[in-house]
């Protein structure tokens, strides 16, 4: 595996843990709100596995594990052996995924390569391609949702919201579909210079819109959060 960026110590990417985040390049989606547009073009600081393990061993007493993010990690053939080695060394693994590779996900979960999955649910299914910016195999997304719920030791589903792509009713539709899941996180869009659509093009939900979702769905999940 080659990574294109790192956050050395994150307190926010893995619930209740300190982790090092590694970003892969490449993604099969083009979400307009993507913050990592440089990764979609495979641009970044190259980090190889030896550097990852060297860093983790030095920080063994400071970090609980890693988060593999992107880009889309499940597109990389080396992911499973890499995560196997991370686990063999005794670190926790969180995987961020867009859920387009249920076969890879199933393998990782069945072989206990992952301790926590954060899966994006981009939109209600009829709007998925508009938000993902690419053709989407909806059955693959549904299969990944089921796998995460059935096989992952711990997990969250999450949706990024901005006014140009989603409405409150869309989020309610997603929440209804995944009702009964452990955690659902609503991530409000934050603008920055690396946003794929360009800075200043997208608008976050207003507080009233976030509150409207919260009022209706917080009872659907063990934990519901907006951030
Ligand atoms: S936000 Fe969308 S385009 Fe960006 S890495 Fe995630 S799935 Fe890919």
pLDDT tens-digit map of 113-151: 999 999 999 999 999 999 999 999 999 999 999 999 999
Q: Which pLDDT score is estimated for 136?
A: 98
Positive or negative, the Cα torsion across 225, 133, 72, 8? negative
Q: Residues near 78 by Cβ (< 8 Å), separated by ≥ 6?
A: 1
Q: Is the CB of 73 under 6 A from ligand 1?
A: no
* Confidence at 169, pLDDT banded by 50, 70, 90: very high
Q: Is the CB of 159 under 6 A from ligand 1?
A: no
Of 4, 21, 35, 36, the one to substitute when testing ligand 1's pocket (max ligand atoms within 8 A of C-beta) is 36
- Token pair belonging to 182: 């452990």
For residues 114 and 95, is the Cβ–Cβ distance under 8 A? Answer: yes
Could you report the per-residue pLDDT of 21-39, keeping only the tens digit for each? Answer: 999 999 999 999 999 999 9
Ligand 1 center to 44 CA (angstroms): 16
Q: Which pLDDT score is estimated for 171?
A: 98
Q: Which pLDDT score is estimated for 83?
A: 98
CA atoms of 31 and 13, how far apart (whole Å) = 20
- Supply the residue whose CA is at minimum distance from atom 1 of ligand 1: 34
CA atoms of 22 and 3, how far apart (whole Å) = 6
- Supply the residue whose CA is at minimum distance from atom 5 of ligand 1: 71
Q: Which pLDDT score is estimated for 199?
A: 96
Q: Which pLDDT score is estimated for 28?
A: 97
Of 42, 98, 120, the one to substitute when testing ligand 1's pocket (max ligand atoms within 8 A of C-beta) is 98
Domain range summary for the chain, segments of one domain joined by +:
2-226
Task: Show the CA angle centred on residue 68, arms to residues 165 and 124, nearest 5°.
Answer: 25
Give the CATH number of domain 2-226. 3.20.20.70
Ligand 1 center to 58 CA (angstroms): 31
Whether the full predicted model's pTM is greater than 0.95, yes or no, is yes
Q: Which pLDDT score is estimated for 1?
A: 95
Of 4, 39, 72, 197, the one to substitute when testing ligand 1's pocket (max ligand atoms within 8 A of C-beta) is 72
What is the mean predicted confidence (pLDDT) over 77-96?
Answer: 98
Q: Which pLDDT score is estimated for 148?
A: 98
Q: Is the CB of 70 under 6 A from ligand 1?
A: yes
Q: Which pLDDT score is estimated for 62?
A: 95
What is the mean predicted confidence (pLDDT) over 76-90?
Answer: 98
- Supply the residue whose CA is at minimum distance from atom 2 of ligand 1: 31
For residues 15 and 59, is the Cβ–Cβ distance under 8 A? Answer: no
What is the mean predicted confidence (pLDDT) over 198-217?
Answer: 97
Peptide bond into 71 cis (omega under 30): yes
For residues 121 and 158, is the Cβ–Cβ distance under 8 A? Answer: yes
What is the mean predicted confidence (pLDDT) over 72-84?
Answer: 98
* Confidence at 94, pLDDT banded by 50, 70, 90: very high
Of 25, 26, 43, 71, the one to substitute when testing ligand 1's pocket (max ligand atoms within 8 A of C-beta) is 71
Task: Report the percentage of the chain scoring pLDDT > 90.
Answer: 98
Q: Which pLDDT score is estimated for 99?
A: 98
* Confidence at 91, pLDDT banded by 50, 70, 90: very high
What is the mean predicted confidence (pLDDT) over 80-107?
Answer: 98
Q: Is the CB of 91 under 6 A from ligand 1?
A: no
Q: Which pLDDT score is estimated for 175?
A: 98
* Confidence at 15, pLDDT banded by 50, 70, 90: very high
Q: Residues near 19 by Cβ (< 8 Å), separated by ≥ 6?
A: 9, 10, 13, 63, 64, 65, 66, 67, 92, 94
């Amino acid at each position: 595996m080659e990574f294109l960026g790192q956050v050395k110590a994150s307190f926010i990417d893995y619930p209740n843990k300190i982790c090092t985040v590694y970003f892969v390049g490449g993604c099969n989606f083009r979400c307009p709100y993507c913050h990592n547009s440089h990764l979609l073009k495979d641009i970044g600081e190259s980090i190889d596995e030896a550097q990852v393990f060297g860093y983790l061993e030095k920080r063994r007493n400071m970090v609980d594990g890693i988060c593999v993010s992107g880009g889309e990690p499940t597109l990389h053939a080396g992911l499973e052996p890499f995560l196997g080695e991370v686990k063999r060394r005794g670190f926790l693994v969180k995987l961020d995924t867009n859920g387009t590779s249920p076969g890879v996900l199933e393998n990782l979960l069945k072989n206990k390569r992952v301790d926590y999955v954060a899966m994006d649910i981009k939109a209600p299914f009829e709007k998925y391609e508009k938000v993902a910016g690419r053709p989407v195999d909806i059955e693959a997304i549904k299969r990944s949702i089921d796998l995460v719920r059935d096989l992952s030791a711990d997990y969250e589903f999450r949706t990024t919201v901005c006014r140009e792509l989603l409405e409150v009713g869309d989020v309610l539709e997603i929440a209804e579909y995944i009702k009964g899941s452990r955690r659902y996180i609503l991530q409000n869009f934050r603008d920055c210079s690396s946003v794929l659509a360009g800075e200043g093009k997208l608008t976050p939900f207003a507080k009233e819109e976030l509150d409207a979702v919260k009022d209706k769905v917080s009872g659907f999940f063990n934990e519901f959060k907006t951030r």
